[in-house]
Structures are given as structure tokens and as C-alpha cells.
Amino acid sequence: MEEPINRTKIPQIDSIQELARFWDTHDLTDFEDELEEVPEPVFELLTELTVPLEPEEFEALSALAKAHNTSPVNLVREWVIEHIEAPSESTT
């Protein structure tokens, strides 16, 4: 069987969205010659934290998240990252 001349290669990008679009229109079996086994995990797993909230607290959080066009989980994560990355206030 003859290989097409202008065969597409697997894109070398880090964007999950762009890779998802690529694989939506391509078949993995067409790229077997480009694949290699990876002995180590490629993605690091996130550590999860459970935050107990009263029902009314969760309702308020959900309303805030909706106003920011995001999910409650993403909003809380943004807040945590903001506070971690913010310069610490020194006591002088």
C-alpha cells in the first residue's frame, strides 16, 4: 500500500484543545510509525481538597461563580491561586 505524499504529522503542541480538535478529525492508527512508548507519566495528577460548606454558603458561591461565568470549583481554585501568588504582606 502506497503512503500519501502530503501525509499530516502529529502536531507538536501543548494545547489540549488544539490536540482534541486534531484527534477529532484524525485516526491514531494512521500515525503508528510516529508513536513511541513513554515509560513515565506524562501528566501530573492534581491534588484535590474537599471544602465543607453549608448549603447557603454553596448557593452563594454558585451565584458568584455564575456571575463570573465559571463553575464554583474553578472560582475557588482561582481565589486560592490568587492568594498563593500574591505578594505576602509583611508585618513591620
Return per-residue pLDDT of the chain as tens, 92 residues: 555 544 678 888 888 888 899 999 999 888 888 888 888 887 788 888 999 999 999 999 999 999 999 999 999 999 999 999 887 665 44
At residue 81, the pLDDT reads: 93
At residue 89, the pLDDT reads: 62
The pTM assigned to this predicted structure is 0.49
Cβ-in-10-Å burial (0-12, 13-18, 19+) of 27 comes to exposed
At residue 90, the pLDDT reads: 53
Q: How far is CA 87 from CA 11, 23, 75, 81, 84, in A?
A: 38, 41, 20, 12, 8
